Amino acid sequence: MINKQEMLKIQNLHVSTNNKKIIAGLNLLINKGEIHAIMGKNGSGKSTLAKVISGHPSYEITEGKIFFKNENITDEEPENRSHKGIFLAFQYPIEVPGVSNIDFLRLAYNCKQKKLNKPEIDPLSFFQLVNHELKEIDMNSLFLNRYLNEGFSGGEKKKNEILQMSLLKSELSILDEIDSGLDVDALRSISNNIKEFANKDNAILLITHYQKLIDYVQPDYVHIMDQGKIVMTGNATIASKIEKYGYEYISLKK
């Protein structure tokens, strides 16, 4: 039997913001080479969990621990988590007027290189590198010289998040509703990018409301969150049950 290597381990996590408890005793284990998805009603704590794993300062961990590759990162700064290999694709990527996409991407790439004691890359070499990644995800190079996310459609913003993930070679990628606001073609394209990025040395956590993303990606595990904790875990067929019966399906199975 092959021993799986733990990528992310969350133990008895309790999280509050503005004195309101949002996550209450959550446990989760994600191993290398796995794709997990989390579904749940609005307000169940899905997006909060994504932000807490990445180290968002607005949330207070009142109890529990978060381990990344067997290292306790519960109190780690967000930038250190990023440098260690955690990536969060935002549900609503912000627009940054005056900062070109390629400058932002090169800065992010070189910051990680510096943290890892690796040589930073010059603009020309980076242009060649990022163009290779653009071809891999079928994204137009014209987006490099536009201001970061400014005037991008919903699908283009999400594609740009996938580009960042691919460029940084993130070990744990958390994609928070990467499928929201996408048309059918864009969703299929993003789903293919996710599947192609996944390998035995990384892990992916999808936060989603929709069965269609689950159908395309076919994650190894699907978790249902309710009132700040995971209340059900299974395979991709859970999503079809939720689609058919709604979240009442959880009550039926209890």
Rounded distance between C-alpha atoms, residue 207 and residue 222, angstroms:
10
Which residue segments constitute the domains of the chain, with CATH numbers given?
A: 6-253 (3.40.50.300)
Q: Is the dihedral of CA 164, 165, 170, 176 positive or negative?
A: positive
Given pLDDT bands bounded at 50, 70 and 90, which one contains residue 3? low
The 10s digit of each residue's pLDDT in 165-189 is 999 999 999 999 998 888 898 899 9
The 10s digit of each residue's pLDDT in 29-88 is 999 999 999 999 988 999 999 999 999 999 999 999 999 999 999 999 999 999 899 999
Task: Kindly give the residue spans of alpha helices, DSSP state H, lying in 63-176.
Answer: 78-84, 101-115, 123-137, 154-168
- Average per-residue pLDDT for the chain: 91
Which residue type is seen at 184? V
The pair of structure tokens assigned to 90 is 């935002």
Rounded distance between C-alpha atoms, residue 52 and residue 64, angstroms:
12
For residue 175, the SS3 value is strand
The 10s digit of each residue's pLDDT in 84-108 is 999 999 888 888 889 999 999 999 9
Backbone angle region of 47, left / alpha / beta, with phi > 0 → left and psi within -120 to 50 → alpha: alpha
Given pLDDT bands bounded at 50, 70 and 90, which one contains residue 2? very low
Hey, how many other C-beta atoms are within 10 angstroms of the C-beta on 191? 21
The gap from C-alpha 109 to its chain's centroid, in whole angstroms, comes to 18
Rounded distance between C-alpha atoms, residue 222 and residue 120, angstroms:
38
The 10s digit of each residue's pLDDT in 115-163 is 889 999 999 999 999 999 999 888 888 888 898 888 888 888 889 999 9
Backbone angle region of 248, left / alpha / beta, with phi > 0 → left and psi within -120 to 50 → alpha: alpha
Q: Model-level pTM? A: 0.91
The enclosing H or E element of 240 equals helix 237-245
